[in-house]
Amino acid sequence: MHLGMPISSRFNQDQKNSYQPQLVNIMGIKVIRSELVKPSEATPHGPFWLSNLDLSVRSSYSPTIYLFRPRGDDRQGFFSVDVLRTALAMALVMFYPLAGRLAVAPDGRVEIDCNGEGAVFVVAESDVALDDLEEGFTPSKAMCDMFVPPYEKEAGAGAPLLLIQVTFLRGGGVVLGTGMHHYVLDGRSSFHFVQVWSSMTRGAAETIVPPFLDRTALRARSPPVILFDHDHEYHQKVGCATNNRSSDLTGAILRVTKAQAAALRARTGESLFRSLVAHIWRCTLMARGLAPDAKSRLYTVVDMRARLSPPLPSAFFGNAGVRTSVTAKVGDLLTNDLKFGAQRLRMATGQGDEFARSLVDYLETADERAKPGRELPDTDLRVISWMGMASHDADFGWGEPALLAPAAMSYTWFIYNIGNTGDVAVAVGMKPGHLERFKELFFDENEMA
């Protein structure tokens, strides 16, 4: 993949190996322990190749929050730091690339240096009460800064790839904050790692499925064969006008009940994901008050593990998602039944092996602008799905999380299941005025029923 920029402009070489665990206080957080956790056994060393799909995502961490509530009055040993740390070192043997560092190959391509330096592991205390956090949690930069170890947003060469913070709350309860570098893995892989780590913590090794680390199936062809137009999703438009700067957005988590989800599906005859996204699409456009003749583009990501030929194992470790999009006129989306938007979305989510191979080849010749833009015009939106992933399979021996959410939001809607309840969470980031109107429309009986 041609990165199109000199290495010095992509990475600050002075940052290399600069991370030193420090004891700091941040916004009501008292850090009491900070260290690097290395794999418990010897692991392979040397360069680890990153595919074009890996390098097409943003060079940043994906922050996630898990909130755990003690079971009754029995809090002895609740989230034992020593037990967590020991299990983490064991899990890093299987997932050894996460214990490495970002690096640059002689040809200028970004890769992982599997040097076993370890994951950042922080233990902290907070004066925040569990009940207040659970009831009022809102994805934001403040939440991320409190509960996920800090590191440069645009992490460069020498950067750690896994950041973990265990925060004990006032009156009981724990927040587990994770930051995993997006170059290394996608959402499905990150939840798989937490699943394995939690299984090792509670001594359930028999349930563990090891990660599949071989990424060679995602190498580009020679010569490249590009059969589809990927520019809209992967060619960043320089100077694109936008009113959606991430710093201006307010986050919220909305809960869709099982009954509401069933009602949406009944209206469209499509999958829950397509039905829910069509509803989000309509409500977003109405909340923003867009003109009927404006064209709206909806972006999403499709997991290609099962769609490649031959398919990748479900435990594939890396980025296997491809960005797709679909357009429609605002007036058509608002005047037609919800089924119209859901069927339009089907065009973006039905891609298979040929599309993925074409994209990998496209990225082989793309320059540095083949990255997702952080900001979108008001006509457009991007929705990411964690549905069907093992997001809540994170029982460290003290029960499943009471709350799971992205720690911060930037322009994206996240959709994910709430445990095994049948309810679905929608995490959303919008401008404050638009968000309040969006919530009114989202739960309007005529829209939801």
The C-alpha angle with vertex 270 and arms to 265 and 271, in degrees rounded to 5, equals 80
For residues 448 and 442, what is the distance between their CA atoms, to the nearest angstrom?
7
The set of catalytic residues is: 182, 395
- Order the strands of the 174-181 sheet from edge to edge: 25-26, 29-37, 119-129, 162-170, 174-181, 61-68, 403-406
Strands 61-68 and 174-181, sheet pairing: antiparallel
Angle between helix 272-288 and helix 258-268 axes, rounded to 10 deg: 90
CA distance 31 to 123: 6
Q: How many whole angstroms separate alpha carbon 43 and alpha carbon 91?
A: 11
Radius of gyration of the chain (CA): 22
Cβ neighbors of 312 (< 8 A, separation 6 or more) are 212, 217, 304, 305, 306, 320
Q: How many residues does the chain have?
A: 449
Task: Please state, in angstroms and rounded to a whole number, the distance separating the CA atoms of residues 164 and 176.
Answer: 7
How far from the centroid of its chain's Cα atoms is residue 46's Cα? 27
